[in-house]
Amino acid sequence: MSEIIEVRSGVELPALREEISFVTSDGLTLVGELALPLHRQPAATLITFHPLPTHGGFMDSHIYRKAANRLPALADLAVLRFNTRGTSSPRGTSEGVFGDGITEKADVEAAISFAISRGLPNLWMVGWSFGTELTLKYGFDKPVIGGILLSPPLHRTSESELQRWSGNGKRLVVLVPELDDYLQPEEARKRFSVVEQTELVGVEGAKHLWVGESATKRVLNEIVKAVNPSKYPLPETVQL
């Protein structure tokens, strides 16, 4: 007998969930999870890059965990999450040590290569905080449709690195919380003005960590709006 449930914080909707691992060019094994729609091919793929591991960021950081719990079922998206080098989660610990965004270049390349090897379609890089730095520094020339940035601090990304995205044919969707601790919408518009195709969304009342269900829903809706707009907006309830 089916039931209608509300899509809220703890909900995990049906999906094909697979524990995965892949090896970087410098020989490290990174661990993660791939979540796929149950009964159809994914319309697009989110390759996620988590917040700073030295400050608690990992593949289960809540926006990404909820994306994996919801978006395969609600938006026909594949969600690839993994721990960058030296990062631990209940899934396990990726080999290596934190490289301050430098040696993680190999992690980015390995994740994208894995997605390609699995035949996943329409690849998007999704970075959150530290993960936005990896996306911006190393995604500009990768075989992806674009990048989605959540709370970009622009600490490790130079202006010259940012300019490499200018006119490169890739979309760049930037979600900036109004109350961010590092980069707020007004300054973000100035910094990202060097990339003419930037789609910048200032989010009123939001903070760097996107705490709360309303913030989570806003982020997931903006992601879906960018990568599979036919599924936007996401439903508030679902029948199981």
d(CA 123, CA 49): 13
- Take residue 134 and report the two structure tokens written for it: 């990896």
DSSP string across 23-76: E-TTS-EEEEEEEE-SSS--SEEEEEE-S-GGGT--TT-HHHHHHHHHHHHHH-
| Residues 143, 175, 224, 88, CA torsion sign | positive
pLDDT band at 225 (very low <50, low <70, confident <90, very high): very high
Q: What is the pLDDT of residue 60?
A: 98
Contact criterion met (CB below 8 Å) for 67 and 127: no
Domain map of the chain by residue range? 4-239
User: Is residue 131's pLDDT more than 80?
Assistant: yes
pTM: 0.98
Cβ neighbours for 81, distance < 8 A, ≥ 6 positions apart: 32, 33, 35, 48, 50, 59, 60, 64, 65, 68
d(CA 108, CA 134): 7
Q: What is the pLDDT of residue 197?
A: 98
Q: Can you state the angle between helices 62-75 and 213-227, rounded to 10 degrees?
A: 50
| 77-108 tens-digit pLDDT | 999 999 999 999 999 999 999 999 999 999 99
| 27-78 tens-digit pLDDT | 999 999 999 999 999 999 999 999 999 999 999 999 999 999 999 999 999 9
Residues of the chain above pLDDT 90, percent:
97
- Take residue 120 and report the two structure tokens written for it: 């996943």
Instruction: For the domain covering 4-239, report its CATH number.
Output: 3.40.50.1820
